[in-house]
Structure 1
Amino acid sequence: MIMRPGQQLLLPANPLFIWSSLLVAMVVSMLPLGRTPWMPDLLALVLVFWGVHQPLRVGIGAAFAFGIAMDVHQAALLGQHALAYTALTYLAITIHRRLLWFTVPSQAVQVLPLFVAAHAIELAIRMMAGGVFPGASILLAPVIESLLWPVVSVILLAPQRRAPDPDENRPL
C-alpha cells in the first residue's frame, strides 16, 4: 500500500493486544456506572478502530459476539447491540481503505456518521419493542465517541509505533 508522505511505518499488530483491548473495552462498558443516554459506547469505538486498522482480524462475527454479550449483560432486547455492532463493523470495514488516507482528526469527522447510524439502529429497535425515547441527550453519545477517536488511536497504535531494534541490516 502506498503511504502518505511523513506517515510512520507501523509494526504488525499483536493479535493478543487486539483481543485484550476489545475485552478491556467490553469490561469497561459493563461497569455499573449507570446507563445514561449520552454515555459513549467504548466497545463500539474499539470495534470500529480495529475494524478500520485490522479488518482481517476483527470482523463482523466478533462484533456480533460482543453485541450478544452486551445484550445479555444489559438485559436489553436480544440482538439490539448485536445488530448495531454488526452494522457498525461492516461500515467500518467498508470504508477502512479510504479512511486511513486521512489524518486522525479528519478520521474522527468521518466516523461520526457510523456512530450516529449505530445509535439510530439501537434506538429504533428499542422504540419498536415499546421502549421510551431517552431524550435529546442521546445525540451526544456519537459526538463524544467521535471526539474520543484521536485518543483511542494514540493509545491503541502505541505498541505498533515502538521502534524495532535497528542494526546495519534493518535501518528502519
Structure 2
Amino acid sequence: MSRQRGGTGVLWASFLVAFALALWPLPEYLAAFRPNWLALVLCYWVLEAPQRVGLGTAFVLGLAADLMFGSLIGEQALRLCVIAFILLRFRAQLRYFTLLQQAAAVLALLLNDRVVVLMIRALAGEGWPPASFWIAPAVGAVLWPWIFLLLDDVRLRLRAREGS
C-alpha cells in the first residue's frame, strides 16, 4: 500500500511542478520558447505508468489547466486527451525506442497538439498565429530526453528506497 502511495506522490508532485513551470512568468521574447510542460510530464507517465495515468487523468489535468491558464474550457482537456490516446495506442512500440527516437515521436505529438490548437482557434474565429507558434514543440522535443531521465531517476530511486 505504501508503494502505491509513494509513487502517487511523485506522480502528482511532477504534475504540480509542470503546472508551476507553465505558469512561471517569462519575458515576452522567451514566451514562444515555453514548452508544453504538462504534456511532456503526461507523456512520461502515460509511457511508464499507464495503469495509473490515462485518458481520465489527462482530462482532469486538462480541465485544471483550462481553469489555471484562463483558456477556453475543455481546450487543454481535449489536447491532453488526444496526446494520451495516441500514446496509449502506440505505447508498446514507443517504450522500446531510443531516447532520440522518443524525442522525435514527442515532437510529432507536440506538433499534432499545435494542429489541434489551430482547429480550435479556427472554430472560435481567431486569427492565424505567428510563425513563433511552432517553436515550442521543437523545444519540448529537445528537452524530452532530460525530462524522461529526470523523472525516471526519481521514480526508480523512490522504488528502490521503498523496497528496502
By the TM > 0.5 criterion, same fold?
A: yes
Alpha-carbon distance between aligned partners in 2 of 1:164 and 1:45, rounded to the nearest angstrom: 24
Residues 1-172 of structure 1 mapped to structure 2, 5 A cutoff: 14-33=7-26, 36-162=31-157, 164=160
Distance in 2 between residues matched to 1:34 and 1:118, nearest whole Å = 24
CA shift in 2, pair 1:48/1:158, >3 Å: same
Letter in 2 for 1:25: A
Q: Distance in 1 between matches of 2:60 and 2:67?
A: 11
- Asked whether the 8 Å contact 1:38–1:139 carries over to 2, the reply is no
For 2:88 and 2:26, locate their aligned partners in 1 and report how far apart those are by CA, in whole Å: 30
**Structure 1 residues 22-68: Cα deviation after superposition (integer angstroms, max 9, x where no partner):** 12111221223367344211011101111111111111111111111
Deviation by residue 1:127-165 (Cα, 9 ceiling, x = unmatched): 321222221111111111111110101110112444948
In 2, the alpha carbon distance for the partners of 1:64 and 1:164 equals: 31
- TM-score, L = length of structure 2: 0.84
Aligned residues: 156
Distance 1:164 1:77 in 2: 42
Contact 1:45 1:149 (C-alpha < 8 Å) held by counterparts: yes
Percentage of identical aligned residues: 33
Q: Does the CA-based 8 Å contact 1:77-1:126 persist in structure 2?
A: no
TM-score, normalised to structure 1, is 0.81
Which ranges in structure 2 are unaligned for 5 or more consecutive residues? none
1:5 corresponding residue in structure 2: none
Task: Tell whether the 8 Å contact from 1:66 to 1:82 is kept in structure 2 after alignment.
Answer: yes
Q: Does the C-alpha gap of structure 1 residues 44 and 14 become closer, same or farther in structure 2, counting only changes over 3 Å?
A: same
Bigger-Rg structure (1/2): 1
Q: Which runs of 4+ in 1 moved over 6 A?
A: none
Q: Deviations over 1:54-96 (max 9, x none)?
A: 1111111111111111112222111111100110011111111
**Structure with a larger share of its residues in helix:** 2
SS of 2:44's partner is helix
